[in-house]
Amino acid sequence: MIKKKIFTGLIAFVMLFSILPNLTVFAEENLVVEQNLVVEQNLVVEQNLVVEQNEAMGPGYYEVAKKNLLRASKTDFFEKTKAGAMEGWKKYKILPSITEAQAILESAWGESGLTKQANNLFGIKGSYNGQSVTVPTQEFVNGEYITINAAFRKYPSWDASLEDHGKFLAVDNPRYSNLVGEKDYKKVAKLLQQDGYATDPNYANSLIAIIESSDLQKWDQEAFAVPNNKTYYTIDGVSLRTKEGWDNSTSIVVPRGEKVSIDLNSVSNGWYKVTYNGVTGFMLLTYFSDRETIKTSYAKDGINLRSKATWDSSIIKEIPKGAKVTIQLQTNTGDWYKIEYGGVVGYMPLTYFSDSQVTKFYYAKNEISLRSKSSWDSNIVTQIPKGERVTVDIQSNKDGWYELETKDGKIGYIPLSYLSDKEVVKVYYALDAVNLRSTPSWDSTNVITVPLGYAAQVDIQTNQGDWHEVTFQGKTGWIPLKYFSDERFFDDYTANDITNFRLERKWDSEVVASCAKGATVSVVKNSNVNGWVEVMYQGTRGYIPVQYLTQK
């Protein structure tokens, strides 16, 4: 940062000459300006102006030529810089009025030598993307000024300089964090001075004067009026408030790791407008992260979850291959992260997990032989019945063959084309006694009768119109699916004693069936009417008071 020795009267001089049509200026020491100078579009400073640099100023760089210092029209300067100043609020929450005022003050309305040579509007030292220029400047060392050559950032454009200014304040230098998001330009100007941006006691007042003389505060209001929504993620579960302040009611509870939209232009006393699932509330920004806080991953193999982030810590839970876990992304200790599985939280290196599924359930399209290796001439491990669900390692592909595990734990190989990722066979329950047909038509022969309430296997991928292939007690036939329910519509009860089932819900109706004490009886769900329930027993439907039965 350049230390300069410029009389603060020069600052007021540059600013005031931009707004007054007629002005007589008297300056002490080396500053001489002709009286009654008329200022219209351009500000003309007398030739041979001698100005010493002032170390009290901030990182901005002033270069006043000994010949002429000409300022282009205000309108032209504003047109070139406004978009960048507005973007600084959107991206970094630095007030547009402050950015513009500093650019005016530090670059002499874009006419300083550094600005012309390096597009550097703010005189920030160092390099930008490896680019810099060396400029003679004065430094205050051991009580005196010495001239040194210093490197200043060289930008490809003014826009780049404006963008870097926001980053300089909001990202690179934490000491300025108290002014990020602040909407009062007077407060920000004073904070800049307080935080050490400049030690000149009039620096804040100079910025404020520039802002007010050019109505730059209107830029701030324009920026505030435009929603600036950005995606954030909850660090933990958080209750949004209906208004700004902790004592207001909760509008909605957002679980940990959920994505929300925050209007960064809505800040008021640190509170922001937050939207989640269409519901809007208010919360402090510290409860959110601009990066994902949790993610779902899958165990690449069987893993032992550790109690601490070390291999020699105790094992607290085993995670099966392919199991889905939750990783807390902001809790790492080196390569180790907090992992949640089955309600248990432990630690494991992230390399043992995959972002994509490792295993997936498939179903046998037909009965098939599981092989010991990925070839047809290898040994048969077991037979997989039609419709049985198996677990496939989807990362084990070898020429179309995949490793899989059966429900009884046997491991082998099979081409994936013999499996379906959708259920092939599903259990259905007969809504009444129904005759399976030999072909999908009513005039075909009966194969077998499925009694009321009995379970049958339905091939849900072999339909012809409404007809499906159904298997019952080893025999296969066809029937429209509407005669079955895919949900078990009854519960199992036990008869308290020898029981007679009636044709209707009354004692004097005909007995349709009887059961022994302790027999299992199926009671149709939600069938209780005045204490009588509908029952199914050995394929017969009847009624009995529920008090004669006990639910299993």
Sequential pLDDT tens for the chain (552 residues): 433 333 344 444 444 344 333 333 323 333 322 322 223 333 333 333 333 444 444 444 444 333 333 444 688 899 999 999 999 998 999 999 999 999 999 888 998 889 999 999 998 889 999 999 998 876 656 777 778 888 999 999 999 999 999 999 999 999 999 999 899 999 999 999 999 887 678 889 999 999 999 999 999 998 888 778 899 999 989 999 999 999 999 999 999 999 999 998 888 889 999 999 999 999 999 999 999 999 999 999 899 999 999 999 999 999 998 899 999 998 888 999 999 999 999 999 999 999 888 899 999 998 999 999 999 999 999 999 988 999 999 889 999 999 999 999 999 999 999 999 988 888 999 988 899 999 999 999 999 999 888 899 999 888 899 999 999 998 999 999 999 998 888 899 999 999 999 999 999 999 999 999 999 999 988 899 999 999 989 888 899 999 999 998
CATH topology of domain 1-226: Lysozyme (1.10.530)
pLDDT at 15: 44
User: What is the rounded radius of gyration, in angstroms, for the C-alpha atoms of the chain?
Assistant: 40
The three-class DSSP label of residue 388 is coil
Tokens of 471: 């298997």
Alpha-carbon span 496 to 176, nearest angstrom:
80
pLDDT at 468: 94
Identical fold, 227-289 and 425-485: yes
User: DSSP state, 529?
Assistant: B
∠ Cα 290 292 297 (to 5°): 170
Alpha-carbon span 11 to 60, nearest angstrom:
13
pLDDT at 170: 93
Class for domain 227-289, per CATH? mainly beta
Q: Is 34 exposed, middle or buried (0-12, 13-18, 19+ CB in 10 A)?
A: exposed
Q: How far is CA 264 from the centre of its chain?
A: 16
pLDDT at 73: 64
Helix (H) or strand (E) segment spanning residue 479: strand 475-480
Considering the four listed CATH numbers 2.30.30.40, 3.90.420.10, 1.10.10.10, 3.20.20.140, the one that applies to the domain covering 294-354 is 2.30.30.40
Look-up of token digits 């902790």:
246
Report the amino acid identity of residue 425.
Answer: V
Class for domain 425-485, per CATH? mainly beta
Residue closest to 294 by CA, chosen among 252, 355, 349: 355
Domain boundaries, the chain: 1-226, 227-289, 294-354, 359-420, 425-485, 490-551
Max CA separation in the chain (angstroms): 125
∠ Cα 146 150 155 (to 5°): 150
pLDDT at 138: 66
Alpha-carbon span 494 to 452, nearest angstrom:
18
Class for domain 359-420, per CATH? mainly beta
Confidence (pTM): 0.44
Tokens of 187: 């407060």
The three-class DSSP label of residue 121 is coil
Are 409 and 416 contacting, i.e. CB atoms less than 8 angstroms apart? Answer: no
Alpha-carbon span 290 to 288, nearest angstrom:
7
CATH topology of domain 490-551: SH3 type barrels. (2.30.30)
> What are the b/e assignments for 43-55, b being 16+ CB within 10 Å?
bebeeebebebbb
Residue closest to 259 by CA, chosen among 278, 281, 238, 233: 233
Helix (H) or strand (E) segment spanning residue 118: helix 113-118
